[in-house]
Amino acid sequence: MNYTLLADLVGLDKIINSDPVAITFFIGYMAMLASAVFFFVERSSVDGKWKLSLLVSGLITGIAAVHYYYMRDFYLQTGTSPTAFRYVDWTLTVPLMCVEFYLLTKPFGAKGSTLLKLILASILMLVTGYIGETSGLDSNIMWGIISTLGYLYIVYEVFAGDIAKLASSSNSAALGRAMFLLKIFITLGWSIYPLGYMVLPGNLLSGMFEVSSIDLFYNLADAINKIGFGLVVYSVAVAESNKK
């Protein structure tokens, strides 16, 4: 029996035997892939200025689907968390989610400088988070604090910064509803990531629950946040296109 077939059988056995983490990797892969196809297909149904927004939504879920395919195999073969794969995924998709904030508000006057600040904040959040997870117990709290500062800046922009001001002055009911939902994603949906970081050994919430279950929460949060984020963008694109 060749190695690929053996790996597939081992993976199937884990999923059949109800390994919750394995199941969420599989569901995450399929859900992200289906969402990417949906966003790419639906580009033809919206006005030209919203096509790029749906393209980015498709890229976010498409990139995530590829990474979830490899993360699933890594987990099934090693039984350990695919930390490096996950951070590569986040480093590509989270800045793209920040691009979505810019694209949503660009028709109402968003500037390139706002986009640059959001991307830099997201990269700071992710790079320092990865260093904290992989550098050892002595420094993970310090790197976690720096990472959280990047996250808090994004929260500030959405709630009180340029993005928030443009959304409130747009006179678009669809954009107003979308920003309300995106604020929920940013504060509640994204909060699972710093919480997961803080339960690592030696960190502030260490011992609150098993570190082995972090992937379960991350997988569910990724699916909800990335697909939900794209659907919110899609709703604005359709609503604004229908005005014409």
The contacts of residue 116 (CB under 8 Å, 6+ apart) are none
What value does the mean pLDDT take over residues 128-137?
83
CA distances, 5 to each of 68, 83, 240 (Å): 19, 25, 49
Query: For position 109, what pLDDT does the model report?
Result: 82
What value does the mean pLDDT take over residues 34-43?
96
The contacts of residue 79 (CB under 8 Å, 6+ apart) are none
Could you say which DSSP state residue 187 is in? I
pTM value is 0.86
Q: What share of the chain is helix, strand, coil (3-state, %, to 5)?
A: 85, 0, 15
CA atoms within 13 A on the CB side of 2: 2
What value does the mean pLDDT take over residues 208-219?
77
Q: Is the pLDDT of residue 243 over 50?
A: yes
Where does residue 207 fall: left (phi above 0), alpha (psi -120 to 50 degrees), or beta otherwise?
left
- Domains annotated on the chain, with CATH: 3-242 (1.20.1070.10)
Q: Is the pLDDT of residue 200 over 60?
A: yes
The contacts of residue 169 (CB under 8 Å, 6+ apart) are 108
Query: For position 51, what pLDDT does the model report?
Result: 93
What value does the mean pLDDT take over residues 155-164?
90
Rounded CA-CA distance 93/123 in Å is: 11
Work out the pLDDT band at 9, boundaries 50, 70, 90.
very low
Q: Which residue has the tokens 């986009």?
A: 115
What's the chain's average pLDDT?
85
Q: Is the pLDDT of residue 179 over 60?
A: yes
